[in-house]
Amino acid sequence: MQQGFVKAAAGTPKIKVADCVFNKDAILAEINIMAQGGAKIMVFPELCITGYDCRDLFWQEKLLSSAKEMLFALAAETREIDALIFVGLPFEKSGKLYNTAAALNHGKILGLVPKSNLPTYSEFYEGRHFTPGDAEAEDIEIGGEIVPFGTDILFQASDMPHLIVAAEICEDLWVPYPPSVDHVLAGASVVVNLSASDELVGKGSYRRQLVRSHSASCISGYIYATAGEGESSTDLVFGGQNMIAENGSILAEAKRFRNETIYGDIDVDRMISERRRMTTFPPQCPDGYTVVPFDIKVEETKLNRSFDPHPFVPADRGDRDARCDEILNIQSLGLKKRLESIGASCAVVGISGGLDSTLALLVTARAFDMLGLPRENILSVTMPCFGTTDRTYTNAVTLTHCLNATLMEIPIQKAVMQHFKDIGHDPDNHDVTYENSQARQRTLILMDLANEHKGIVIGTGDLSELALGWATYNGDHMSMYAVNASVPKTLVRHLVRYFADTCRNEKLNKILLDVLDTPVSPELLPPTENGTISQKTEDLVGPYELHDFFLYYMLRMGFPPAKIYRLACLAFAGSYTEETILKWLKKFYWRFFSQQFKRSCLPDGPKVGSVAVSPRGDLRMPSDACVRIWMDELEEITSRTPS
């Protein structure tokens, strides 16, 4: 329950048609198992107290009275269960019969939600027995208590106000305008569906698609519990395809044709954050709704869901390749349009032999192919200086030749030494001035070459570097079109690898693989005695895979530091210690806030994903914002962590 997580369960007990006593015991046994699993929201199938397929037995008074009696028994016997529980039963009101979902909490019946849409076509005959429910809730007496009866009921957790639960039943989801649309607009963050959806060939995939897409459009959690074995097989078979979804993602799904209970950790705060940032999601408007409080203890949920340590990179190889091709097309088309619009037929790329400049050169070559321009018009400029190693220099030169671009080699040692003399800097002092003077000298050359050849400078810096401010202001920070500006470092690697795997050029493949194997470095400090890179970026700012994880959950999800830390500890368990994660998370926040001034004047570049830092698009942030409250939260974690 802490940090917005709530554990939900959807279960399908094996029932007997019309045996309410047996079914009550089966449901109760499942409730106790769910409680042991930590579930705080428990959902059971439609009409599960009687069985869905009772047909004309629903007209029998004995069945209806037995169902109500077992509902009272379930409420009494779950008094000590700390959960909001939904069970289905037929319920008579004002001489009419309704297909309802009853909500139970700590021994009380909180309300009854009737089904709105009754299928009476093909194999369904619900209109023969039931009456559609009314939206506006009315008070009814049940078991000596007054409770609301109607579809427009919201169940709100007393100590977790963002956890607001609404219910609908089976067919309600399949219609053009499900009741849950109004429920979420009224404030529901989680929707439960008590269902009895029979199986047909191909229906399972459609059902899954329906649950996933509806949870996405409603930006909600969705708990779907459906009937399974135990229902009548006179004409139908029920498969028990229980599902728990969150904003378009299936968190858990039961295997069909077996009665299985599933659990899912729904992140309620994620839904609220997403709704806040989407200006097209209407304001919460609970007018006409009855809000019923329920009680559950707010305690830390033991999370069983996994968190991908690389949220920008699809885990599946096929999906990853498709993503890479899509991103390369976005980057290349963006550059193509820019070149067309200004009438430029030349591009200037500073090539270092590292990952980012390699990707920029590959994208530029692809854009030139789209334009039908000769690749010789690409000026690939290598500018060796104090930190350049033979390995990166050779890769830069060979890569340029493989792509048939024009290589220009302009050593900058003398120019930088003259600059040191001009400003009175000691070249033996390898401080930030020593480093940045090289970066700015390179940018000066690239800009002037672009003017000389009537072209534009292609920026090489990536999203991760921009987030951390790991760029020299008005050095590599600046260009005329930044093709990598919204590509995170963890994804840059896969884009280069995808190009290597698909280029059908053995020599190019070999060079790209060696670039991938080269440590990330700005190469602004002299190499080691044996000629290898001495300045490794990740030793200084931290692992990029951690920073990309932090960036995703901070910007995309809006999560606070403590929650990001918790998720990172789960995602990177076995790879980094908790102390290491906390260390670099502090570094991330400090750099992200202190370096905003660099992002406030970024050059144009194509957006490729849901996270970007362009001051004209996704991130309008003041350059002098204070990081204090974020760091204070991390210091609280430090104080609780044993040394």
Place of tokens 């193509």: 336
**Torsional sign, CA 393, 399, 400, 401:** positive
What does the domain layout of the chain look like in residue ranges? Answer: 2-294, 317-640
Please, what is the Cα angle at 246 between 114 and 280, to 5 degrees?
85
Catalytic pick from 115, 563, 598, 607?
115
CATH number for the domain whose boundaries are 317-640: 3.40.50.620
Q: Are 551 and 311 in contact (CB under 8 A)?
A: no
Helix (H) or strand (E) holding 470, with range, is: none
**pLDDT the model gives residue 378:** 98
**pLDDT the model gives residue 386:** 92
Please, what is the Cα angle at 460 between 458 and 464, to 5 degrees?
145
Distance separating alpha carbons of residues 117 and 115, to the nearest angstrom: 6
**pLDDT the model gives residue 643:** 55
Identity (one letter) of the amino acid at 576? Answer: Y
Residues forming a β-bridge with 169: 194
Contacts of the segment 202-208: beta carbons below 8 A, 24+ positions apart: 204/239, 204/241, 204/256, 207/241, 207/243, 208/241, 208/243, 208/250, 208/253
Identity (one letter) of the amino acid at 109? Answer: I
Catalytic pick from 20, 48, 54, 170?
170
Assign residue 289 a region: left if phi > 0, alpha if psi is -120 to 50, beta otherwise? beta
Is residue 261 packed enough to be buried (19+ CB in 10 Å), middle (13-18) or exposed (0-12)?
buried
Q: Residue 149, SS3?
A: strand
The gap from C-alpha 33 to its chain's centroid, in whole angstroms, comes to 30
Cα radius of gyration rounded to whole Å, the chain: 31
Mark whether 452 is an active-site residue. no
Residue 241: CA count within 13 A, CB half-sphere: 21
The gap from C-alpha 346 to its chain's centroid, in whole angstroms, comes to 39
Catalytic pick from 7, 40, 46, 465?
46
Q: What is the pLDDT of residues 268-325, one digit of tens each?
A: 999 999 999 898 999 988 899 999 999 999 888 888 888 999 999 999 999 999 999 9
Residue 582: CA count within 13 A, CB half-sphere: 18
DSSP state of 150: S
Q: Are 564 and 585 in contact (CB under 8 A)?
A: yes
**pLDDT the model gives residue 602:** 95
Distance separating alpha carbons of residues 192 and 627, to the nearest angstrom: 39
Q: Are 102 and 53 in contact (CB under 8 A)?
A: no
Strand order in the sheet with 190-195: 249-253, 243-246, 221-226, 190-195, 164-169, 153-157, 290-294
Contacts for 54 with CB less than 8 Å, ≥ 6 apart: 17, 18, 47, 63, 90
DSSP state of 284: P
pLDDT along the chain (643 residues), means of 10: 90 97 98 97 98 95 97 98 98 97 98 96 91 95 95 96 97 96 97 95 94 97 96 90 97 93 96 92 92 93 90 95 97 97 96 96 98 98 93 95 97 96 96 95 97 97 96 95 97 96 94 91 77 77 95 95 96 95 97 96 95 92 96 92 61
Mark whether 337 is an active-site residue. no
CATH classification of 2-294 is 3.60.110.10, yes or no? yes
Mark whether 569 is an active-site residue. no
Residue 148: CA count within 13 A, CB half-sphere: 19
**pLDDT the model gives residue 524:** 72
**pLDDT the model gives residue 250:** 96
Backbone angles phi, psi at 272, to 5 degrees: -65, -40
